[in-house]
Amino acid sequence: MKDGFIKVAAVTPRVYVAAPEKNVKEMVERAEEMAAVGVKLLVFPELSITGYTCGDLFLTHVLLQGAKEALYEYLYRTAELDLVTVLGMPLSHYGQIYNTAVVVSGGKVLGVVPKTYLPNYKEFYEMRYFKSGEPDMGEIMLGEDAAPIGTRLIFEDTWIPEFSFGVEICEDLWAPGTPSSEHARAGALIIANLSASNETAGKAAFRRNLVVGQSGRLACGYIYANAGEGESTTDLVFAGHNMVAENGRLIAETLPFDDNKALITEIDLSHLLSVRHHLKAYPTITDTQSEGYRKMVFDIGAPRETILTRNYSRLPFVPSDEQKKAERVKEITHIQVAGLSKRISAIGCKDVVIGLSGGLDSTLALLVCAAAFDKLGLDKKGIHAITMPCFGTTDRTHDNAVKLAQEIGANFREINICESVRQHFRDIGQSEDVHDVTYENAQARERTQVLMDIANQVGGLVVGTGDMSELALGWATYNGDHMSMYGVNASVPKTLVRYLVRYYADTAESEGLKAVLNDILDTPISPELLPPKDGQISQSTEDIVGPYELHDFFLYYLLRTGATVEKIMRLATRAFEGEYDEETIRHWLNVFIKRFFSQQYKRSCLPDGPKVGTVGLSPRGDLRMPSDADASLWLIQ
């Protein structure tokens, strides 16, 4: 459970209808298998001890007593396993029968949660057999022990209080006021759902949307264990569709009719807790107590490191689903275009000024400008694309800037700033032969001055081109490329910039535009502030500050999930296995942390710009961070 990970499993065992003894034998075997691989929370389907499709047999004393005897066998056989099990069975309580989830650990019953919402339509007639559960139903005798029974129980680990879960059963998730909503408000970070949802055409997708959506609404981990093979097929078929979702994302799934019905993965409790820290929808402890919740404590031993099986994308900002690629690009583009369009309309201008370098960032910004002008019905000649070659400019980037402006239909202008910068060097006593930070920043600031003054001339605004990765690293000249009148790329990380430009290239109708975009994509990332070597770019950004794919990974997990640097290191080592060794990752992670802290002053005065994703660095919204904070606590040894 190191770094907040808890290994969980949703398992659909082979079921024998109305044969509790056989079912428990199967369940014990699966529990032993799960414990052997480190599972700490095991969830079986609805009525798993008897099978869901017993019909009127639920009304018989024989089946009810047989289910109890099977439960006692399960308790005895699993008493030494370091896990918590949630299993389903019918139970009689004060003359009524309930469809329940029984939570057990260490040979004891921790609590019993009855189903709240009973379906009574079409193929499901649960009201014929069962009664709906109530919040507090006292205690129920199971063997020699009394266990609490009711719909308002929370189960919590003694060693890791964050390992807390609540239970709901199948139809409860479909109801307007789900029990899981109350469980989450009472502090549960995980919801276990024992289900017997039959298969019909299209139902799996609907079910998946429910589970994923609920995990997002409640900022929780959601474990869904569904009935499968062995249930009666008199009228229905059950296919064992198991899922685990986390904060609105499906992290693991066994598809219907899949032969493997043991779904094992990890839920990131520290991530969920970080999300909850930003929300105010959850009550205080006093509020929770007043809502009638009882907390049941279990002990499955001291925390141990969880072996991770989850896969982590190397590019967390980039869509992994190719089928949704076009949709995601359109969403991001619409956000950028809407932001810029509103700003142009609010100012009442018909002109924008953009510095065009022939690199990725300014390329994306120009494409956004073109789309905004189309949206507003403005002449693209109002887009003033200015290229300003200086000491480090190469023919390749210069020519690409020219071609790109022509393809877009922008008003292109070239202003060579070499003499202006040399005059500035003479004014301040800077030798042109000294290629220090002054040499580099003077060029960036001269370019910004030119853009600002041209914007005054045409009555327009300067569109910023810098991306979020550069802002995170402080890889921008203060009051140089750091400044603009509206930054359309301010929340777009470098890896996503490349992805967006690639999509534009792939979908370009003009062969000329396609060709220039592809060449820009193949050009090394560089500020081009140092003189070229043999006509080629001599200054590689990633050689200086490190690979952007690593920095974007670090940025995502630091801000989006609130991960510790040790955890980020662990995840990065797993994600980039075979590409970067541990020493390299550690080096660049420390570089990232040092730069992220020391360069906050540049982010404290950022121009306006639209947020496009879940992570942003705006001082007016996402990141309220002091400019002089000490990074020592975040550096990794």
170 counts as catalytic: yes
Could you tell me if 4 and 269 are in contact, meaning their C-beta atoms sit under 8 angstroms apart? Answer: yes
What does DSSP say about strands 153-157 and 164-169: parallel, antiparallel, or unpaired? antiparallel
Could you tell me if 469 and 548 are in contact, meaning their C-beta atoms sit under 8 angstroms apart? Answer: yes
Could you tell me if 122 and 112 are in contact, meaning their C-beta atoms sit under 8 angstroms apart? Answer: no
Q: In angstroms, rounded to a whole number, what is the distance separating the alpha carbons of residues 500 and 502?
A: 5
Could you tell me if 415 and 388 are in contact, meaning their C-beta atoms sit under 8 angstroms apart? Answer: yes
Sequence-ordered alpha helix ranges (H) in 186-296: 203-217, 269-277, 285-290
- Token pair for 550: 């690593």
Neighbours of 557 (CB within 10 A): 24
Could you tell me if 247 and 275 are in contact, meaning their C-beta atoms sit under 8 angstroms apart? Answer: yes
| DSSP 8-class letter at 378 | -
Q: In angstroms, rounded to a whole number, what is the distance separating the alpha carbons of residues 557 and 552?
A: 9
Residue (of 570, 359, 388) closest to 475 by Cα position: 359
Catalytically annotated residue among 7, 26, 46, 446: 46
Count Cβ atoms within 10 A of the Cβ of residue 436 and give its class: 0-12 exposed, 13-18 middle, 19 or more buried: exposed
- Token pair for 262: 């043991």
- The dihedral through the CA atoms of 172, 173, 175, 177 has a sign that is positive
Catalytically annotated residue among 115, 403, 494, 602: 115
Q: In angstroms, rounded to a whole number, what is the distance separating the alpha carbons of residues 314 and 500?
A: 17
Q: In angstroms, rounded to a whole number, what is the distance separating the alpha carbons of residues 572 and 582?
A: 9
Catalytically annotated residue among 170, 220, 369, 390: 170
46 counts as catalytic: yes
How far, rounded to the nearest angstrom, does the alpha carbon of residue 430 sit from its chain's CA centroid? 48
Q: Quote the crossing angle between the two packed helices 325-347 and 494-507, to the nearest 10°.
A: 100
Q: In angstroms, rounded to a whole number, what is the distance separating the alpha carbons of residues 198 and 204?
A: 9
Count Cβ atoms within 10 A of the Cβ of residue 522 and give its class: 0-12 exposed, 13-18 middle, 19 or more buried: exposed
Provide φ and ψ at 586, rounded to 5°: -60, -40
Provide φ and ψ at 487, rounded to 5°: -100, 100
Provide φ and ψ at 353, rounded to 5°: -120, 130
Residue (of 294, 10, 305) closest to 156 by Cα position: 294
- In 176-307, the DSSP E strands lie at 190-195, 221-226, 242-246, 249-254, 262-268, 294-298
Residue 240 Ramachandran class (φ > 0 left, ψ -120 to 50 alpha, else beta): left
Q: In angstroms, rounded to a whole number, what is the distance separating the alpha carbons of residues 132 and 134?
A: 7
- In the chain, the amino acid numbered 201 is A
Mapping DSSP to helix (H, G, I), strand (E, B) and coil, where does residue 369 land?
A: helix
Could you tell me if 350 and 360 are in contact, meaning their C-beta atoms sit under 8 angstroms apart? Answer: no
The label of the residue with tokens 């529990």 reads 31
Residues noted as catalytic: 46, 115, 170
